[in-house]
């Protein structure tokens, strides 16, 4: 049975607790090999369950991945530092590290029957996280562990931000205490786990699991201009195929869909392309998704196409009429959603006029591949 975080911390003080069950594998990828086997062998995961992948690996009375329990989220670090001082006899080095660690909010994670603890803070619009680790045993001062090993040589490579689908966890796998980083891509259904075992007061060799699932596309919302030239049914019929093929294009500039543009329409298409390029320059924060009076039906992450370029616009011949089509992932600022918007425009009185929008969402299909590699 898991204890509440502060109860667990207090138990550590009065009990002689050792890692004991930790296993040291001769293979640097053994823990990741085990996760990969679980992914392949779990019918619920392999068939494309809509549940979070880590949630599936960590559920049940005896999960393969046991996640640490977390304290209630606390504002600022003074309260956490006070409680650690009162219960865990921190070393001077640990006190100094904690004092300069908190900027916004944080919590503490612990594992049952372990002297290992993780302090986490998070802040900013992207929910970027920082981590600090320490051990505490009876009759000795709690000792600070080294920082997490770097993942790459650039600062941005080492960010772990919940807003971008990246999160860090204190966990146990086959009796080994680890830091587990879970990474999900907002624009596809590929998932990664980076596993760093903690061996005594040092980090062990890291490994990485990459699992790719088939992506399935479906229309979540459709909006059309009243008495306009395009119908809801027409958009529902083609939008998933448009977005799927656009996502799959290695070079979006080479993407095309449907019949060729009639010769008589080519001049109008070029005029619309010139107009949309000019419009993009005047909208540095992204293109607002038209919903024709139903904007409340859009989520905040669906309401804008934040990073369009002139090359993301294409002619589309649909139902015998030629449109200009804008296709891209929706989002807010640098945060990109798994949803895409396909917006259709016509040329009216020398200006672009939106006439239809389809919001296309993704869901996870069946497992396609799993790879395990050594990691930084």
pLDDT, mean of residues 331-336: 84
Confidence of residue 226 (pLDDT cuts 50, 70, 90): very high
Pseudo-torsion of CA 22, 23, 28, 29, nearest 10°?
-90
Taking residue 129's Cβ as centre, other Cβ atoms within 10 Å add up to 19
Task: Check pLDDT > 80 for residue 4.
Answer: no
Q: Which helix (H) or strand (E) holds 97?
A: helix 92-99
Q: How confident is the model at residue 8 (pLDDT cuts 50, 70, 90)?
A: very low
Query: Do residues 199 and 24 make contact, with C-beta atoms less than 8 angstroms apart?
Result: yes
Q: What is the pLDDT of residue 77?
A: 60
Q: What's the rounded Cα separation, in Å, for the pair 257 and 238?
A: 10
Distance (Å, rounded) from C-alpha 55 to C-alpha 297? 29
Nearest to 94 by CA among 69, 117, 68, 63: 117
- What's the mean per-residue pLDDT of the chain? 85
- Residues 211-220 have pLDDT tens digits of 999 999 999 9
**Would you mind telling me the total number of residues written for the chain in this entry?**
376
pLDDT tens-digit profile of 178-213?
999 999 877 788 999 999 999 889 999 999 999 999
Residue 170: enclosing H or E segment and its boundaries?
strand 166-173
Q: What does the pLDDT read at residue 75?
A: 47
Residues 35-83: tens digit of each pLDDT: 999 999 999 999 988 888 999 999 988 899 999 987 655 545 677 777 7
User: Considering the chain, what percentage of its residues have pLDDT values greater than 90?
Assistant: 54
Radius of gyration of the chain (CA): 26
Average pLDDT over residues 339-343: 95
The per-residue pLDDT for range 135-167, each reduced to its tens digit, is 987 788 889 999 999 887 777 778 898 878 899
Task: Measure the CA–CA gap between 5 and 112, rounded to whole angstroms.
Answer: 9
Name the nearest CA neighbour of 1 among 88, 69, 97, 100. 69
Q: What percent of the chain has pLDDT over 70?
A: 89
Whole-angstrom distance, CA of residue 298 vs CA of residue 306: 15
If we measure between CA atoms, which residue out of 61, 59, 56 comes closest to residue 40? 56
206 beta partners: 375
Please, which pLDDT band fits residue 105 given cuts at 50, 70 and 90? low
Rounded distance, CA 313 to CA 344, Å?
Answer: 10
Structure tokens that stand for 320 in this block: 């015998």
pLDDT at 15: 31
Helix orientation angle between 5-14 and 78-88, rounded to the nearest 10 degrees: 30
* Mean pLDDT value of segment 269-282: 87
Predicted pLDDT of residue 71: 62
């Amino acid at each position: 049975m898991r204890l509440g975080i502060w109860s667990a911390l207090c138990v550590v003080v009065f009990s002689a607790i050792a890692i004991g069950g930790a296993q040291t594998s001769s293979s640097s990828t053994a823990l990741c090999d085990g996760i990969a086997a679980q992914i392949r062998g779990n019918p619920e995961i392999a068939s494309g369950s809509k549940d979070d992948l880590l949630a599936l690996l960590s559920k049940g009375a005896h999960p393969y991945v046991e996640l640490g329990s977390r304290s209630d989220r606390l504002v600022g670090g003074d309260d956490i530092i006070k409680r650690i001082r009162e219960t865990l006899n921190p070393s001077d080095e640990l006190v100094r590290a904690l004092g300069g660690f908190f900027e916004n909010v944080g919590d503490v994670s612990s594992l049952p029957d372990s002297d290992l603890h993780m302090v986490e803070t998070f802040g900013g619009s992207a929910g970027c996280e920082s981590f600090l680790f320490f051990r505490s045993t009876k009759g000795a001062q709690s000792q600070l562990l080294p920082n997490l090993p770097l993942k790459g040589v650039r600062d941005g490579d080492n960010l772990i931000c919940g807003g971008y689908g990246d999160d860090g966890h204190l966990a146990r796998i086959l009796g080994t205490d680890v830091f587990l980083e879970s990474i999900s891509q907002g624009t596809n259904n590929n998932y990664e786990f980076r596993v760093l075992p903690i061996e005594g007061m040092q980090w062990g060799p890291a490994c990485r699991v990459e699992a790719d699932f088939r992506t399935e596309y479906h229309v979540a919302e459709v909006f059309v201009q009243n008495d306009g030239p395009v119908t809801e049914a027409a958009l529902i019929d083609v939008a998933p195929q448009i977005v799927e093929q656009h996502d799959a294009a290695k070079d979006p500039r080479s993407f095309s869909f449907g019949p060729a543009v009639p010769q008589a329409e080519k001049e109008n298409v070029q005029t619309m392309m010139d107009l949309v390029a000019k419009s993009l320059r005047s909208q540095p924060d992204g293109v607002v998704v038209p919903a024709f009076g139903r904007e409340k039906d859009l989520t905040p992450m669906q309401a804008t196409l934040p990073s369009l370029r002139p090359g993301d616009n294409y002619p589309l011949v649909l139902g015998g009429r030629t449109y200009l089509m804008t296709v891209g992932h929706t989002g807010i600022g640098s945060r990109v959603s798994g949803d895409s918007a396909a917006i259709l425009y016509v040329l009216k009185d020398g200006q672009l006029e939106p006439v239809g929008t389809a919001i296309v969402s993704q869901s996870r299909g069946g497992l396609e591949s799993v790879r395990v590699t050594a990691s930084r």
